[in-house]
Amino acid sequence: MADQELTDRVRELIAENQVLLFMKGTPSAPRCGFSMRTVQVLDSMGVEYGAIDVLPALQPLREVTSEISDWETFPQLYVNGELLGGCDIVEEMFDNGELAEALGVEQPAETEPAAPEAPASDEPYKSPPMSIEGS
Amino acid sequence: MAADLNELKGMIESALPGSTAEVIDETGTGDHLRAEVSAPQFEGRSRIDQHRLVKAAVRERFDDGTIHALTIKILD
Report the amino acid identity of residue A28: S
Q: Is B68 on the interface with A (CB under 8 A)?
A: no
Assigned domain for A109 exists: no
Alpha-carbon torsion angle B48, B54, B60, B63, nearest 10:
-30
Question: Domain residues of chain B, as ranges?
Answer: 5-74
SS3 state at B70: strand
Residues from chain B that touch A88, judged by Cβ atoms under 8 A, are: 71-73
- Find the domain containing A13 and state its range: 4-103
Whole-model pTM: value is 0.79
Along the 135 residues of chain A, how does pLDDT read in single tens digits?
A: 789 999 999 999 999 999 999 999 999 999 999 999 999 999 999 999 999 999 999 999 999 999 999 998 999 999 999 999 999 999 999 999 999 999 999 998 865 544 455 444 454 444 434 333 333
pLDDT, residue B69, reads 82
Report the amino acid identity of residue A29: A
pLDDT, residue A128, reads 39
Concatenating the DSSP letter of every residue in A96-113 gives TTHHHHHHTSPPPPSS-P
Class of domain B5-74: alpha beta
Assigned domain for A27 exists: yes
Q: Are B74 and B37 in contact (CB under 8 A)?
A: yes
CA atoms of A86 and A38, how far apart (whole Å) = 8
Assigned domain for A65 exists: yes
Q: How far is CA A30 from CA A38, A63, A73, in A?
A: 10, 22, 15
Q: Is B70 on the interface with A (CB under 8 A)?
A: no
What is the mean pLDDT of the segment spanning B3-30? 93
Q: Is B52 on the interface with A (CB under 8 A)?
A: yes
Considering only CB atoms, A84 lies closest to which of B48, B71, B72, namely B48
**Whether residue A75 has a cis bond before it, omega within 30° of 0:** yes
The structural domain count of chain A equals 1
A130 to chain B, closest Cα gap in Å: 23
pLDDT, residue A9, reads 96
CATH number of the domain enclosing A87? 3.40.30.10
Q: Is A83 on the interface with B (CB under 8 A)?
A: yes
Assigned domain for A122 exists: no
Instruction: Express each pLDDT in A90-122 by its tens digit.
Output: 999 999 999 999 999 999 886 554 445 544 445
Q: In this predicted complex, what is the ipTM?
A: 0.75
